[in-house]
Chains A and B, each alone.
Chain A
Amino acid sequence: MQFKFTKFATVLLASGIISLPLAAHANDSAELEELRALVQQLDQQVRVLARKGEISNEEAVAAKKTTPVVKASENGFGFESADGKNSIKFKGLLHIDNRNFSDVNGLGSDGKNISGFDFRRIRPTIEGTVFGKYDFRFTPEFGEAKTTSTSSTSGIVDAYIDARFQPSFKVRAGKFRPFVGLERLQSGSDIKFMERSYVSSNILPNRDLGAAIHGDVLEGKLNYSVGVYNGVVDGGDITTVQDTNVDKEYAARIFATPFKDSDSVLAGLGFGLAATHGNFKGLSSASGLPGYKTAGQQSTFFAYTANTVFANGARDRISPQAYYYYGPFGVITEYARVSQDVTNGSISEKLENDAWQIAGSYLLTGEDASFKGVKPKQVFNTDGDGWGAWELVARYQENNIDNAAFSTAGSGAGLRYADPRNNASAAKSWAAGINWYLNQNVKVVLNYEQTSFVGGGQVNSANLATGAFTNITDRPDEKALFTRLQLSY
């Protein structure tokens, strides 16, 4: 380069060009002017580009204040206003089950339990918020075929508005899970077993129409609720039609998590007490009395005598409840007792049935257990190392019927509240299973549950005139192997 420049200068000198200082000066000046103009032009272009960038940023900031946000991720789908005060979420819960029963009583045309595939839940949900504090939720049900239900089920699972005036003062109205049962309040996508326990399924209300005041106080460590509802039979899911019963049911619950958000080993401890009170006088069209299902939720192991036995007054329930989560370990336990005034002709009596459960879970892959589901540390990936989260679960539960329900007081079979020949006085179930969380939206469940019964089998000898039954055998054990593929978002 240096050589070339030197050669070039030599040629210029030889040609006498740079020996003309005036002409050279004139050329330099013009060139400088051109360069100055060029620099100015480039300077303007750079400034324009920078300013356009500023304006774009300003417009983007302004637009962000008003542009609705569309959300689509593993946490759900939906959209919300720029200020977050108005939003819609589209959620869904799909349970595709395969249910295999041992050859015992059931709903099949041959009188046996039906095994096979079943859509236990098909629940699209729309939920959202308007004006920043008025939440709503609407969930229809397209699943729950009669393989799991002998009675008609409502097409609407949830339809309610929840006004969050303060964290300590919220008002919910519509059809929803009454604030009573602990496991019932756990989302259907988060329950550890294929079916909830007898406490939730057979004793405490499932869904009801009503209104409740609820909230969190003491920095969120104490949750309370009081509500008034139309009232449902044990384990009942009310329809959305007009209530035929004049009296309403009242429910209250208090639940404490005193060590929440602390470093204590008790941080995951929660315990509480719930109660309901109502009155119901049964009619031939609606006895006001429940039937209790087996753990497999297909057949009924206990029912009051139809057409002659009715609810006749107070129905009171009480349910102490607790959970504890520590690291990958979790346990949930509940007890519920219902006192029900019943009548059969001229005989009336207060009967007390109860149920309890204790269930434990352990996450083999080390995730933290909680009341609100499992988020795998690593999602299952066919192309990578992730295997999702694996969880072992076990449960023992009982449902006991008041012995007085089978009383022979008075005489004659027709005077009893329930016939002991085909109604068991207790169901006792143990279950074990494994849950595989492929990711936070997809889960595979495998449960084995075995239930033994007290009575309800058959009678070897009877004296119908005196109502004396002897040698009643037990109903055969129910053995159920269930698998489920769950999609929830």
Chain B
Amino acid sequence: MKKSLLAIALLAAAFGTATPLMAIAKDISLLNVSYDPTRELYQDFNNAFSKYWLAKTGDKVTVKGSHGGSGKQARAIIDGLDADVATLALAYDVDQLSEKGKLIPKDWQKRLPHNSSPYTSTIVLLVRKGNPKNIKDWDDLIKPGVSVITPNPKTSGGARWNYLAAWAYAQKKNGGDEAKTKEFVNKLFKNVPVLDTGARGSTTTFVERGIGDVLLAWENEAFLAQKELGVGKFEIVVPSLSILAEPPVTVVDKFAKKHGTEAVSKAYLEYLYTEEGQEIAAKNYYRPTLASVAKKYEGQFPKVNFVKIDDDFGGWQIAQKKHFSDGGTFDQIYQK
């Protein structure tokens, strides 16, 4: 790199300032810090983007990925993991990059379409072949003897979506009675024998270690388990009500600026919204937001009765404070 710079400087000096410098291809490295189950998605997407960017600019882009529980990943970025882009599980974790890390502007969500969520997903129930415990809906998860696998909401974004989906169901069932709702979720978590730190860990627990009767999973993760990790061994049960999960993406401005990768980082995220980006998302079982691609993959995704974080929980800031901050409902339930 230093030799290249020296060569450029010498050439510039030799030809004088009147001679325009030739465009020289660059090697660019990006770090995408993401949540747990997006490994396969971004593996495919990174390859596609590298080809696209090489063809467009002549620059070679190598994207490295870091995956883990969404909350943990956000904390890692705040603590100095210099991500060019963050593609996390929920908006609250990205908000932290602004509030605690001062790494991105407050209005980050307005910078890209669909509140900066290029794809969506939801929470479904993954059961073993033949559904031996006859699990059909959330009610079945609180029955004695049913073992439920979900990660820890303190560290995992997916787990927080799981928790809120169960909460929304119980609240609706109990006519908004908070005490009964809490009791329902309490019973559910009493049936959880292991709390992994991230969604991929829970998939490992359920699929590879053979623990539990039902996995509360991202829809994309459930499809992956059913179709690729254990073909013919699992079935997806769509509950009567679930939550629309909107995983957001953002350029981490401070670090991208430091690396000189602002433009390519922005292009990387914008490419998620293109037809090709949306196709890759759909093929990895994420629900596309682009109408044409959504229509094409309509049959792949079951119809779900959704609740939404903004409409039913007042947004992530309120939901986080009420349920997942220290002393929130999860702490009250899990410490009992």
Contacts and interface: CB of A to CB of B under 8 A. Distances in A.
Contacts of B212: 44
Interface stretch (A46-54, A192-200, A201-209): A46-54
A100 B16 CA distance: 81
Interface in B188-207: 193-197, 201, 205
A44 B149 CA distance: 12
A59 interface: yes
Nearest to A55: B196
A47 B210 contact: yes
Contacts of B197: 55, 58-59
A90 to B, nearest CB: 26
A48 B196 CA distance: 11
Contacts of B209: 47, 50-51
Most B C-beta atoms less than 10 A away, residue of A44, A50, A58, A59: A44
B294 interface: no
Interface residues of B, number: 12
Main SS of the interface on chain B?
Answer: loop
B87 interface: no
A36 B265 CA distance: 56
A55 B211 contact: no
A50 B208 CA distance: 12
A48 B201 contact: no
Interface in A38-66: 44, 47-48, 50-52, 55, 58-59
Interface residues of A, number: 9
Contacts of A51: 194, 205, 209, 211
B226 interface: no
Contacts of A59: 197
Contacts, number: 24
B117 interface: no
B147 interface: yes
A52 B194 contact: yes
A47 B211 contact: yes
Contacts of A44: 147, 193, 211-212
Contacts of B210: 47
A51 B205 CA distance: 7
Contacts of A58: 197, 201
Contacts of A52: 194
Contacts of B196: 55
B186 to A, nearest CB: 20
A50 B209 CA distance: 9
Interface in A53-86: 55, 58-59
Contacts of A50: 209
A51 B211 CA distance: 9
B201 A55 contact: yes
Contacts of B201: 55, 58
A48 B201 CA distance: 13
A55 B194 CA distance: 9
A44 to B, nearest CB: 6
Contacts of B194: 48, 51-52, 55
Interface string B138-172: 00000000010000000000000000000000000
Interface string A110-123: 00000000000000
Contacts of B193: 44, 48
Nearest to B205: A51
A55 B202 CA distance: 10
A47 B194 CA distance: 10
Contacts of B205: 51
Nearest to B208: A51
Nearest to B210: A47
Most A C-beta atoms less than 10 A away, residue of B195, B211, B212: B211
A50 B212 CA distance: 13
Interface in B206-223: 209-212
A55 B200 CA distance: 12
A370 B193 CA distance: 59
A52 B201 CA distance: 11
A112 B273 CA distance: 93
A52 B195 CA distance: 8
B69 to A, nearest CB: 10
Contacts of A48: 193-194, 211
Interface string A7-51: 000000000000000000000000000000000000010011011
Nearest to A47: B211
Contacts of B195: 55
A50 B193 CA distance: 12
Contacts of A47: 209-211
A51 to B, nearest CB: 5
A445 to B, nearest CB: 49
Interface in A364-402: none
Interface of B: 147, 193-197, 201, 205, 209-212
8 contacts: A47-B209, A47-B210, A47-B211, A48-B211, A51-B194, A52-B194, A55-B201, A58-B197
Given A48-B193, A48-B211, 19 more contacts: A44-B147, A44-B193, A44-B212, A47-B209, A47-B210, A47-B211, A48-B194, A50-B209, A51-B194, A51-B205, A51-B211, A52-B194, A55-B194, A55-B195, A55-B196, A55-B197, A55-B201, A58-B197, A58-B201
Interface of A: 44, 47-48, 50-52, 55, 58-59
Sorted nearest first, the 8 A-B pairs with minimum C-beta distance are A48-B193, A47-B211, A51-B209, A51-B194, A51-B205, A47-B209, A48-B211, A48-B194
